Amino acid sequence: MSGAAQFSVAARAGAARAGVLRVRGKECPTPAFLPVGTYGAVKGVPPDLLERLGTRMLLANACHLHDRPGADVVARAGGLHRFMGWDGLILTDSGGFQVFSLLATSRLDEEGVTFRSPVDGRELRLGPREAVDVQLALDSDVAMVFDHCPPLPAEPALLADAVERTTRWAAAARARHAERSQGGQALFGIVQGGLDDALRARSARQLVELDFDGYAIGGLSVGESNAELRAALPRYAPLLPAERLRYLMGVGRPADVLAAIAAGFDVFDCVLPTRNARHGMLFTRAGPLQLKNARWREATGPIEAGCDCPACARWPLAALRHLFMVGDPLAILLASAHNLRFLHRLVAEARAAIVAGRDPAALPEYSGLDAPAPADA
Amino acid sequence: MSGAAQFSVAARAGAARAGVLRVRGKECPTPAFLPVGTYGAVKGVPPDLLERLGTRMLLANACHLHDRPGADVVARAGGLHRFMGWDGLILTDSGGFQVFSLLATSRLDEEGVTFRSPVDGRELRLGPREAVDVQLALDSDVAMVFDHCPPLPAEPALLADAVERTTRWAAAARARHAERSQGGQALFGIVQGGLDDALRARSARQLVELDFDGYAIGGLSVGESNAELRAALPRYAPLLPAERLRYLMGVGRPADVLAAIAAGFDVFDCVLPTRNARHGMLFTRAGPLQLKNARWREATGPIEAGCDCPACARWPLAALRHLFMVGDPLAILLASAHNLRFLHRLVAEARAAIVAGRDPAALPEYSGLDAPAPADA
């Protein structure tokens, strides 16, 4: 443990925890949802609005920023906080998920991965040491180790191989970070192992021996069914040390986030709220609402009564639908703001429940979350 | 004059005026620039940000809103202010410019224009009475009469015909508005006549006889050269009554706005600042800056030193360029905010000069405005 991150648990309810993460004097109450700003912005959402929505920590992607504009460019401009216009906490993902799950052209060797830029096809390279160097240059608050993250379903031999390689790479990253970090940036390990409980346990054990500032479960939300994901949560959360932050990567469906909080996870990131928003899909407590649906053409009320997001505060649903139909970028901003606010409220209400000793998975106001989407009119 | 709009001149410097427009208890100091929110939003810019940028009045387009979503939909949702989430002043353009300049399919008759929706090709209709009805349904603060606005260059006979028709239509609109308005909404007349001084004088005389709350010069910025536009400004401003607001339609190049203020115009609208922003063209006092230019790849400073817009306050130019190159909608918001703030500061500084008795066209900080754009690196 580098000592750069302090995590304290303030209250528990069953396996669920309410805590606070502190890095570089900045605090993030947990459970927390991290909006995704892949390329250095949460698409279309200005950082002052993110802050008003309740964002305390966001995620940016070292792999994408390594491609464009390059970590050196960000470093020379004063680091990622200045580059993003964001004073709050930034966690950078290492790119393990991206190079293994999203890019067909990746070539794996023992020292890392060679892949082609999805932008211009030029050859790029990331490995455990390069990913540390990139994230130190970006100067994020929390860096992630570079892991081997196979898409699911995967052969048992591949999963086992990925776990061992992830551990070797984690050790290399840990050493590199200890050698090059000026202090301040925390480093988290990532547990792999697919849906194989024995592999997950072994991966967690090996990583905990390396002593990271926090631990993530990676390699979920990468192809398995929702039932498999939900069943895995209470099995895998206890594999991670109780006194460190537990980060479940890539999960953002509201019902899944509540289940993960109940299982003992503390933070979550996902493109879902903002990507869905760009496609007109809005979160409500009664399940998803599709903005394009003709039934909203003359709807004079807000997206959801009681929501305090800027879209619900100022716009009738008919106007939001109209902005979406004419392709105004303001529709993206407002829909993204609504979905992010929805998740920030959900984790805040879960936190309040935990502090009050109640089960966060049983919040009655969210009982309609798993409802199917209404058919399009 | 309906009495719905009060305009008072607080100071003069040469032909230039510093004033205040009051409609429905809301004030707009003049000179003022009106951002364009064609379809009910200034593309990508939230209204609370517009307010912070200095917008007091904006323009929306009755013709476009008549097409989508329909004035009836806006009316049932509570009117255009609620539909746009905007409490400030709204001026609606009637659509005369659009149906004559932008649509090849328009068919003119004595009672109005039949045209096809650019969205789905269905037949739509606007005339002097329909345009009043649409704008009353939208419930904007200032409505414009429906004018016959020919693109330039135009045959003398067509210009003369357009002036006479514009006057007949203005009379019809004036009567319809007096009959149907519940009070509150102001109605402005639009002077036509192309670059023919005698026609302009006749058009102005005929409209002034009809006694509108304010007067606009339309039919400029529709194909003539910039030199012709600039030369026309001091000839046409004095044709409009000194005690009413003078609105120059469709002009937004910073140097042209300063020249128009010096000539005695009070308000201006144009898509230029926001449309240019969407193409990466940013206003600076030294002339335009193209964000895509590779010379900004590692630029660590703001767009322009001394600018107080959110983009200049928080982002290095390299980051704005990066967001633009990766196609993040946040780049549109920030570039639009910069260009709008640039024009709002320009008119505010012109106002301060007028109040101090100085020529607003000779502001030394804007002496580089007409500089050519630097060559792309």
- By C-alpha distance, the chain B residue nearest A85 is B314
Please, are residues A57 and A340 in contact by the beta-carbon 8 Å criterion?
A: no
Which 3 state secondary structure label does DSSP give A34?
strand
Answer whether A87 touches B (CB < 8 Å): no
Reading across the β-sheet that carries B16-23, which strands appear in turn?
A: B5-13, B16-23, B26-30
CA distance B68 to chain A (A): 8
Q: Higher pLDDT residue, B150 or A72?
A: A72
- Among B74, B333, B338, which would you mutate to test the A interface (most chain A Cβ atoms within 10 Å of its Cβ)? B333
Record: contact A328-B47, CB cut-off 8 A: no
Give B301-354 pLDDT, tens digit per residue.
999 999 999 999 999 999 999 999 999 999 999 999 999 999 999 999 999 999
Partner-chain residue, chosen from B39, B298, B334, that has the shortest CB–CB distance to A328: B39
Partner-chain residue, chosen from B46, B319, B325, that has the shortest CB–CB distance to A333: B46
- Among A298, A323, A338, which would you mutate to test the B interface (most chain B Cβ atoms within 10 Å of its Cβ)? A323
Record: contact B47-A314, CB cut-off 8 A: yes
- Distance in angstroms (rounded) separating the CA atoms of residues B74 and B80: 6
- Distance in angstroms (rounded) separating the CA atoms of residues A31 and A345: 11
pTM: 0.96
Please, are residues A190 and A30 in contact by the beta-carbon 8 Å criterion?
A: no
pLDDT at position B375 over 50: no
- Among B72, B81, B117, B326, which would you mutate to test the A interface (most chain A Cβ atoms within 10 Å of its Cβ)? B326
Per-residue confidence (pLDDT) for residue A361, from 0 to 100: 92
Per-residue confidence (pLDDT) for residue A1, from 0 to 100: 75
Looking at beta carbons, which residues of chain B come within 8 Å of A69?
Answer: 297, 318, 321-322, 325
Q: How many C-beta neighbours within 10 Å does residue A106 have? A: 17
Per-residue confidence (pLDDT) for residue B99, from 0 to 100: 85
Per-residue confidence (pLDDT) for residue B377, from 0 to 100: 37
Chains A & B: contacts with CB separation below 8 Å: 127
Q: Indicate the residue type of A40.
A: G
| pLDDT, chain B, mean | 95
CA distance B275 to chain A (A): 13
Answer whether B318 touches A (CB < 8 Å): yes
Answer whether B312 touches A (CB < 8 Å): no
Segment B12-38 shows an average pLDDT of 98
Looking at beta carbons, which residues of chain B come within 8 Å of A44?
Answer: 44, 328-330, 332-333
Cα of B251 vs its chain's centroid, Å: 7
How would you classify the pairing of strands A281-282 and A289-290? antiparallel
Would you say the C-alpha torsion B168, B169, B174, B175 has a positive or negative sign?
positive
- Distance in angstroms (rounded) separating the CA atoms of residues A350 and A306: 17
Return the exposure string of B72-89: e unless at least 16 CB atoms fall within 10 Å of the residue's CB, then b.
Answer: ebbbbbebbbbbbbbebb
Segment A91-96 shows an average pLDDT of 93
Helices B197-210 and B226-236 cross at an angle (nearest 10°) of 50
Report the first-to-last Cα separation within chain B, whole angstroms.
Answer: 55
Answer whether B319 touches A (CB < 8 Å): yes
Shortest CA distance to A233 belongs to which of A209, A258, A215? A258
Per-residue confidence (pLDDT) for residue B102, from 0 to 100: 67
Answer whether B51 touches A (CB < 8 Å): no
Task: State which H helix or E strand residue A22 sits in.
Answer: strand A16-23
Looking at beta carbons, which residues of chain B come within 8 Å of A330?
Answer: 41-46
pLDDT at position A100 over 90: no
Which 3 state secondary structure label does DSSP give A77?
coil
Instruction: Report the percentage of chain B scoring pLDDT > 70.
Output: 97
Record: contact B325-A43, CB cut-off 8 A: no
Looking at beta carbons, which residues of chain A come within 8 Å of B330?
Answer: 41-46
Distances (CA, A) of A46 to A50, A140, B306, B323: 6, 19, 21, 12
Q: Indicate the residue type of A351.
A: R
Give A290-334 pLDDT, tens digit per residue.
999 999 999 999 999 999 999 999 999 999 999 999 999 999 999
- Distance in angstroms (rounded) separating the CA atoms of residues B38 and B185: 19
Q: Which of A191-195, A293-297, A370-374 has the lowest mean pLDDT?
A: A370-374
- Distance in angstroms (rounded) separating the CA atoms of residues A11 and A357: 8
CA max distance for chain A = 61
Please, are residues A99 and A113 in contact by the beta-carbon 8 Å criterion?
A: yes
Instruction: State phi, psi for A2 to the nearest 5 degrees.
Output: -80, -20
Please, are residues B150 and B163 in contact by the beta-carbon 8 Å criterion?
A: no
Answer whether A68 touches B (CB < 8 Å): yes
Looking at beta carbons, which residues of chain A come within 8 Å of B69?
Answer: 297, 318, 321-322, 325
Record: contact B330-A41, CB cut-off 8 A: yes
Looking at beta carbons, which residues of chain A come within 8 Å of B60?
Answer: none
Model confidence band, residue A102 (pLDDT cutoffs 50, 70, 90): low
Q: Which of A20-34, A356-370, B73-87 has the lowest mean pLDDT?
A: A356-370
Answer whether B117 touches A (CB < 8 Å): no
Return the exposure string of A224-252: e unless at least 16 CB atoms fall within 10 Å of the residue's CB, then b.
Answer: beeeebbebbbebbebbbeebbbbbbbbb
User: Which tokens belong to A73?
Assistant: 């460019």
User: Is residue A69 reached through a cis peptide bond, with omega within 30 degrees of 0 on the bond before it?
Assistant: yes
Q: Which residues of B are catalytic?
A: 93, 269
Record: contact A323-B82, CB cut-off 8 A: no
Reading across the β-sheet that carries A123-126, which strands appear in turn?
A: A107-109, A112-116, A123-126
Shortest CA distance to A248 belongs to which of A22, A30, A51? A30
Answer whether A300 touches B (CB < 8 Å): yes
User: Which tokens belong to B206?
Assistant: 């005929």
Residues in Cβ contact with A45 at an 8 Å cutoff, skipping those fewer than 6 apart: A35, A274, A333, A336, A337, A340, B330
Record: contact B43-A328, CB cut-off 8 A: yes
Model confidence band, residue B170 (pLDDT cutoffs 50, 70, 90): very high
Record: contact A330-B46, CB cut-off 8 A: yes
Q: Which of A96-110, B273-287, B297-311 has the lowest mean pLDDT?
A: A96-110
Q: Tell me, what DSSP letter sits at residue A369?
A: T
Report the first-to-last Cα separation within chain A, whole angstroms.
Answer: 55
Please, are residues B2 and B186 in contact by the beta-carbon 8 Å criterion?
A: yes
Cα of A187 vs its chain's centroid, Å: 16
Looking at beta carbons, which residues of chain A come within 8 Å of B322?
Answer: 39-40, 68-69, 73, 83
Looking at beta carbons, which residues of chain A come within 8 Å of B46?
Answer: 49, 310, 330, 333-334
Looking at beta carbons, which residues of chain A come within 8 Å of B85?
Answer: 314-315, 319
3-state secondary structure chain B: CCCCEEEEEEEEECCEEEEEEEECCEEEEECEEECECCCCCCCCCCHHHHHHHCCCEEEEEHHHHHHCCCHHHHHHCCCHHHHHCCCCEEEEECCHHHHHHHCCCCEEECCEEEEECCCCCCEEEECHHHHHHHHHHHCCCEEECCCCCCCCCCCHHHHHHHHHHHHHHHHHHHHHHHHHCCCCCEEEEEECCCCCHHHHHHHHHHHHHHCCCEEEECCCCCCCCHHHHHHHHHHHHHHCCCCCEEEECCCCCHHHHHHHHHHCCCEEECCHHHHHHHCCEECCCCCCEECCCHHHCCCCCCCCCCCCCHHHHHCCHHHHHHHHHCCCHHHHHHHHHHHHHHHHHHHHHHHHHHHCCCCHHHCHHHCCCCCCCCCCC
Record: contact A329-B332, CB cut-off 8 A: yes
Q: Which residue has the tokens 């500089």?
A: B371
Partner-chain residue, chosen from A41, A82, A319, that has the shortest CB–CB distance to B323: A41
Shortest CA distance to B88 belongs to which of B136, B177, B24, B181? B24
Shortest CA distance to A255 belongs to which of A374, A369, A371? A369
Q: Higher pLDDT residue, A97 or B163?
A: B163
Q: Higher pLDDT residue, A300 or A377?
A: A300
Per-residue confidence (pLDDT) for residue A372, from 0 to 100: 57
Distances (CA, A) of B8 to A256, B5, B56, B153: 60, 10, 16, 36
Shortest CA distance to A134 belongs to which of A198, A64, A77, A202? A64
Give A114-159 pLDDT, tens digit per residue.
998 888 889 999 999 999 999 999 999 999 999 999 889 999 999 9
Segment B291-305 shows an average pLDDT of 97
Instruction: Report the percentage of chain B scoring pLDDT > 90.
Output: 89
Per-residue confidence (pLDDT) for residue A199, from 0 to 100: 98
